[in-house]
Amino acid sequence: MAPLSPMEMTHEISMDQMGKYTLRWTPGEDDIIFEVHVATKGYIGIGFSTNGGMKGSDVIIGGVDDATNEVYLTDRYATGNTVPQVDASQDVKLLGGYQNTTHTSLRFSRKWNTCDDKEDLELSKEDTVRLIWAYGAADPKNKDPMAISYHSQRGSKSIYLNEPRLQLPKMSADIKSWEIRSPNVQLPDNLTTLYWCKLFKIPRLTRKTHVIGYVPVISDDNIQHVHHILLYECHLPESEGYYEKWVDVDGAQCFSANMPVSWRYCNSPLVAWAIGGEGNFAPDNVGFPLGEEHGGATYFMMEMHYDNPNLRKGVVDNSGLRIYYTENLRQYDAGILMTGHKVTPMQIIPPRQQWFSVGICEAYDCFFKTSPETGINVFAGILHSHLLGRNITLRHVRDNKELPVVLRDLNYDFNFQETRNLKNELKVKRGDYLITECGLDSTARSKATFGDAEMLEDASRKWLESSA
């Protein structure tokens, strides 16, 4: 069978840790076109799940029959950890497929909302979507759709299906780059997950400078291990006395007893990148100032999340970020406004509960004291919670009337945090309110969860759980 006809796709991501399962897609107004390229001559599975699990998920299984070269594709639903049932309504459209000596490739389309409420999930254009994937070594026996062997590989991945593709700005001669990389971190071969933090100091500057964007710099050998990267501004009075001595240190396990206490004040995120992301750039008229004397930060902490599910030995990584900056100042300074529920020991989440926390950024304290009379323009945001977080909504109120929701993710995943660019800049005026609503799920916990210490250690707790 001939290869698929060329079709440019707007997005591409490796679903597994070994580069054997590649997903490409293009979101449209009514539907999405998908392509999967997998290192197997058997079947391919991809599904949409509310929590990353099999039960209740919406599954698509396809492949190329070895005997007849016939391409097959079926729309299914999963009732548990068993072979998914075939839907009564087939709501995926096969657009082509082929198989060679090593790989199977399929192209198909699927509507955002198939109107099949019983057996399909509606795909969100705004929320995190959890994809589940699998593949097997053999096709269904005798073309029986239920005679599918147990998958040889499987996993899950959280993504934004409808995120616009990165548009790189024109790189003029005045734009410089600053690379910050992990100091050849050696991944333990007895742990599946590692969070590593390292402190950095900005380049020497001669005058005020603007950061305009970033791209990830991932080692080709370690694409399967680098899960996400966060870059935080560090803010303490007379910061040099706290942070300068740590710049030449290789780093420490994040939020562990070995991490210096001062690093916990590195908590204003400037960059949030997750696997599959291409980077992010500010609008052409906006830049983030560098240096405390210019209203920015002089010291930054980079948090690297590594995965090593196969416990590979000898993995050493120096991945990181390339930050772009310029002395040709943009029209406006950008800053970071953090709004939400303050993390303190007084925030107590009882066990076995679906909980709801609300943080109100009220007009006077939040805006009037610090914002200009003309207000501020919001062009992007990062939704952030901890391990108990399940959904986040940022609301906007003016003159006692609620305006359109600013940001929302009803399927939040702690392990997937990326900058969300607003389609239209939001004007926040003096007198406005911003209300952050966080849905939390403690049903799996037998003890109360306290803010501050316990929530700051969510990352290390996840690391410890993975090593158990």
Tell me which residues are annotated as active site: 195, 384
CB 183 within 8 A of CB 304: no
Could you give the CA distance from residue 78 to residue 55 in angstroms, rounded to a whole number? 5
Q: Are β-strands 389-398 and 433-441 bridged in parallel, bridged antiparallel, or unpaired?
A: antiparallel
Q: Which two tokens stand for residue 90?
A: 């087939």
10, 25, 137, 164, 187 from 134: Cα distances, Å: 23, 17, 11, 27, 26
Q: How far is residue 112's CA from residue 401's CA, in Å, rounded to a whole number? A: 31
User: In 3D, which of 461, 444, 459, 453 has the Cα closest to residue 351?
Assistant: 444
